Amino acid sequence: MRIVRAAVAAWREPYLSRDRVKADPFRTLVACVLSLRTKDEVTSAAAERLFAVADTPAQLRALGPARIAKLIYPVGFYNQKARQLIRLCTQLRDQFDDRVPASLNALLTLEGVGRKTANLVITEAFGLPGICVDTHVHRITNRWGYVSTRTPEETEHALRAKLPRRYWREINRLLVTYGQRRCTPLSPRCSECALAAMCARRGVTHAR
């Protein structure tokens, strides 16, 4: 727990200092679908093109998969994702009155929605407690020795059991940017890290 408190103190600027504005649940959900195996800048541009034309489940269904695929190209697996979005929007109509549910378990019933996406929608769009674990959160918390897990899903469950609830929503935003800039998968910049003295550095094989 000491290292988590230290991380919040060391990295509050700029990662946690900004006011948190709730995102639109449907836009958040669709953007997460688009982001799989796609660079952030490509996802952002594709989502902007798509939402300029359609930003509700009904509007997206009306476009059809071919038009959606054209709008979201070149995200990874754009044809597959276009069909997935149609199925997802159909589920929202048939099961949730065209509204994105504010329940983790309900979100997990949607087409192609995994725990990372469901938790991101819960925390960013609804402001509810959740732990969004991506590769950065998984890698860094294991490097710290705070958890000892093999997969992001195992990490989520371990953090739910161990991490104080007040940090749940923040852990992803705190660690993703730091994982991109400092605690990278290969050759992490440990010499520049304020937590180096208390970090177990498990799995680190470069730049000790």
Domain with CATH 1.10.340.30 in the chain: 25-125
- The tens digit of pLDDT for each residue in 55-108 reads 999 999 999 999 999 999 999 999 999 999 999 999 999 999 999 999 999 999
Residue 204 pLDDT: 86
Range(s) of the chain covered by CATH 1.10.1670.10: 2-17+132-198
Four-way CATH pick for 25-125: 1.10.3720.10, 3.40.50.880, 1.10.340.30, 3.40.50.360: 1.10.340.30
Task: List the single range of 32-36, 154-158, 159-163, 202-206 with lowest mean pLDDT.
Answer: 202-206
State residue 21 phi and psi, 5-degree precision.
Answer: -105, 130
CB atoms inside a 10 Å sphere around CB 164: 9
Q: Is the pTM of this model over 0.75?
A: yes
DSSP string over 120-138: HIIIIIS--------HHHH
Q: How confident is the prediction for the chain on average, in pLDDT?
A: 91
Average pLDDT over residues 185-205: 90
Domain 2-17+132-198 - what CATH class?
mainly alpha
**Structure token digits, residue 55:** 């930003």
pLDDT at 207: 40
Residues marked active site are found at 116, 134
Cβ within 8 Å of residue 109, ≥6 positions away: 91, 95
How far is 62 from 58, CA to CA, in rounded Å? Answer: 6
The answer to whether 144 and 136 have CB atoms below 8 angstroms apart is no
Residue range 93-145, pLDDT digits in tens: 999 999 999 999 999 999 889 999 999 999 999 999 999 999 999 999 999 99
